[in-house]
Structure formats: C-alpha cells, structure tokens
Amino acid sequence: MGKSGADLGVVAGLVRASFLVNAVYAESAREYGLTMQQGQLLCVLMARPYGMGDLGATLGLEKSSLTGLVDRAVRRGLVRREPDPDDRRAVHVVLTGEGHELAEDFYAATCRRVDELAAGLSTPDRDRLAALLGTVVRENQAPTVFLDALQP
C-alpha cells in the first residue's frame, strides 16, 4: 500500500513531514497554554506589528475568525491593538511585554522540538534539506508564520 520512509515520494514525504511538524507545534502550544493559532499569532507578531488585513492574509484566516483570535489574545494580555498611524480607521496588532516573553519562550521550545525531528541527519543532509525546503517555500510564496531559528 505505502512506501517505507526511505523511499517516500515528494507528496507523501511533505504531507507526512507536515503532520510531524504540526504535532510538535501542537505539543508546544499545549505546554504553553496556547492553541496552535495563538502560537502562530505570537510567532508572526515577533517579527513586527501587523494590520488586521495583513495578519488575516498571513495566517489564512477570515475576518471574523481573526477578530476572535485577537480578542482572546487581548483578554489574555498577550497583544494589544494600536491605532495605525497612516489610517485612523485601522489598527495594528502588537505584542505586549507579556506576549513578547511568551512568544520568545514558545518559539525557542518549538524550534528545539522541530530541530530534533532532523537529529538523525548529517550536517550536509540537514543543509541540503534546508536548501530544498527554502526553495519550495519561496516558490510557493509561503507566508512568514515562523522565522528562521535563532542561531546559538
């Protein structure tokens, strides 16, 4: 029926790898008292504040879902809405001090866990995998929902 891990095709390999990464992401989120979407929100906002439109596009959420997500994060004290300096009708979503600390901790723990998925690869294989995945991500214009791991 299926191929063994050593001879997976591209489709099966990417799909199965996404399941592995999602499971790690979900485990980290639970450990930090977050949903996966809240974890994504915090990680996205680590890079910079976002307007609601750009944030919805980046996270792939409809306006009502994004509003609920941001509202819950505001109630938890993780983010705040600030007026957009260029448009009085719009707001930017910004991490609070508490949100920034949680985002950094969650991000670091998740990076460690995801990195462990490739622990069995040699350095050249890891570098090749990173280059290939980078090409796939760039060619498909994947949104930046997770920054590159911080180097020690």
Give the per-residue pLDDT at 116: 94
- Expressed in angstroms, the distance from the first to the final Cα of the chain is 42
Give the per-residue pLDDT at 4: 53
Ordered strands of the 50-51 beta sheet: 50-51, 87-95, 79-84
* Distance of alpha carbon 141 from the chain centroid: 15
Give the pair of three-digit tokens for residue 114.
Answer: 């995801």
Q: Kindly give the pairing relationship between strand 50-51 and strand 87-95.
A: antiparallel
Task: Record the pTM.
Answer: 0.83
Give the per-residue pLDDT at 8: 81
Distance CA 146, CA 45 (A): 10
Q: What sign results for the dihedral spanned by CA atoms 142, 144, 147, 148?
A: positive
Give the per-residue pLDDT at 120: 95
Distance CA 147, CA 100 (A): 14
Give the per-residue pLDDT at 1: 46
Averages of pLDDT over each 10 residues, the chain, 152 residues: 65 93 94 94 94 92 95 97 88 96 95 94 94 92 71 40
